[in-house]
């Protein structure tokens, strides 16, 4: 895996041409070749343009395009006589509030910048102010001041279904504004490298430079922010697997940043992983949807709610939980004091309780577990290091070759003697050289995001 801007390994679009003939037949049948432009559904979707004699999604998408912008992050030149601003990296963004000039992009697009510019589709460019950013969800908020700005409409990402059409818009590979089309390939994807994950997966083509741009539905409404690609090749190009932060998570983060200048989220004291088929068999269950409780922090909200190691959470806050990432995301977009109803399985029987979200506990121990979970694994302290308990399928840890039972002894050559040390060594690092003990032998793995 790799990630560029998309930072490749952290963070695509098969053509739908094979599916279009069937759609065309349906639309033509409805139109009766009457010369009228017929919408596929409601006011959006594919229409037949009788004047040009073509089928197009333009009528549903074109109103959103003026709100999609190019973001450039400027730093300070580090060598030579010129000490003026220097472009560090770039990406895409989308205006969600024209009146207030609010632009959404990715944290990794603006990371390390001193100043920022936003290029509008009409040729203007504006200076941008960084309002705030959240590394855990890879969301950043910029503000611009200008007249005649456009904004994109937003919809609740919870209403999405696999198979819905999706359109990615941005400025990839140095090109001007580019639109690609695909479908929603999956929902609730996790393990890609951010602490709070519940990604939308799409096959709409996404490449370097698309980061921070919008993922739209067929009516041009915002459903997510493009943030990551999964690439099997050395070049980190489009392989048809891209991930977007859903609007449900984006909206929470943006509101927190606008209200407080930072994201204030709570915690419940749970360490969870996804319910895999082998683990389900161990627990005597015939389902593979849910989150297995691997550990409960003493004195935490989870312990007070009666949750124990081995419980399987299937619903939280009246939302079905598909995997461990779903629980992390649900808790990660709540504030202290929020009450979360929980449905869980214990010994195959359903039970109910409620968690009251607590204010976060600062410290490297909590950070260490969070950083491990963000990379798709859970760990526990043992003599000589940290033992990997669970590795999420398809995660960064799994891609690197780590396995349950491995004992992590060193990170980038430095000994790991507990969760606090792990948190200190991995925080903010995109590339890790991980040394583990496996069957009594030392092995090394490169863990990148």
- Please list the active-site residues: 108, 138, 211
DSSP H stretches of helix in 188-323? 247-260, 277-282, 301-304
Residue 213: which of 90, 82, 75, 383 has the closest Cα? 90
Q: Report the distance separating Cα 91 and Cα 69, nearest Å.
A: 9
Please spell the DSSP secondary structure of 24-44, one letter per residue.
HHHHHHHHTT-S----SBTTB
Q: Report the distance separating Cα 426 and Cα 400, nearest Å.
A: 15
Going by the DSSP 8-state scheme, the letter that residue 173 receives in this structure is: G
Please spell the DSSP secondary structure of 369-434, one letter per residue.
HHHHHHTTEEEEEETTEEEEEEE-TTSHHHHHT--TT-EEEEETTEE--SHHHHHHHHTT-SEEEE
Q: Report the distance separating Cα 216 and Cα 246, nearest Å.
A: 11
Quickly count helices (H) and strands (E) in the chain: 10, 26
Q: At what angle do helices 364-374 and 419-426 cross, to 10 degrees?
A: 60
Q: Report the distance separating Cα 247 and Cα 187, nearest Å.
A: 13
């Amino acid at each position: 895996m790799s990630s560029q801007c998309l930072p490749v390994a952290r963070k695509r679009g098969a053509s739908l041409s094979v599916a279009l003939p069937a759609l065309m037949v349906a639309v033509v049948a409805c139109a009766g070749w009457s010369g009228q432009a017929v919408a596929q559904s409601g006011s959006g979707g594919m229409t037949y343009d009788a004047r040009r004699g073509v089928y197009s999604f333009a009528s549903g998408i074109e109103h959103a395009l003026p709100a999609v912008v190019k973001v450039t992050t400027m730093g300070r030149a580090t060598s030579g006589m010129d000490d003026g601003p220097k472009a560090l990296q770039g990406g895409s963004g989308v205006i969600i509030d024209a009146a207030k000039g609010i632009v959404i992009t990715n944290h990794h697009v603006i990371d390390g910048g001193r100043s920022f510019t936003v290029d509008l589709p009409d040729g203007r460019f504006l200076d941008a102010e960084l309002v705030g950013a959240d590394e855990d969800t890879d969301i950043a908020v910029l503000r611009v001041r200008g007249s005649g700005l456009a904004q994109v409409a937003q919809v609740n990402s919870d209403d999405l279904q696999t198979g819905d059409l999706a359109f990615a818009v941005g400025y990839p590979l140095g090109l001007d504004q580019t639109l690609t089309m695909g479908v929603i390939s999956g929902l609730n994807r996790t393990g890609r490298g951010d602490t709070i994950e519940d990604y939308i997966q799409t096959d709409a083509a996404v490449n370097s430079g698309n980061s921070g741009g919008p993922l739209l539905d067929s009516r041009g409404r915002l459903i997510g922010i493009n943030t990551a690609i999964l690439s099997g090749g050395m070049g980190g190009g489009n392989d048809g697997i891209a991930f977007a932060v859903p609007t449900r998570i984006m909206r929470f983060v943006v509101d927190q940043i606008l209200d407080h200048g930072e994201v204030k989220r709570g915690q419940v004291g749970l360490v969870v992983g996804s319910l895999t088929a082998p683990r389900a068999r161990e627990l005597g269950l015939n389902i593979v949807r849910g989150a297995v409780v691997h550990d409960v922090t003493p004195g935490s909200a989870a312990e007070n709610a009666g949750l124990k190691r081995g419980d399987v959470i299937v619903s939280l806050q009246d939302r079905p939980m598909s995997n461990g990432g779903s629980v992390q995301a649900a808790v990660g977009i709540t504030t202290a004091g929020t009450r979360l109803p929980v449905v869980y399985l214990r010994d195959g029987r359903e039970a109910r309780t409620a968690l009251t979200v607590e204010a976060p506990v600062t410290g490297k121990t909590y950070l260490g577990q969070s950083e491990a979970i963000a990379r798709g694994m859970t760990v526990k302290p043992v003599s000589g290091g940290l033992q990997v308990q669970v590795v999420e399928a398809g995660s960064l840890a799994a891609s690197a070759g780590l396995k349950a039972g491995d004992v992590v002894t060193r990170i980038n050559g430095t000994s790991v003697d507990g969760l606090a040390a792990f948190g200190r060594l991995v925080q903010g690092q995109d590339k890790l050289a991980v040394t583990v003990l496996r069957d009594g032998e030392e092995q090394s793995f490169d863990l990148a995001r």
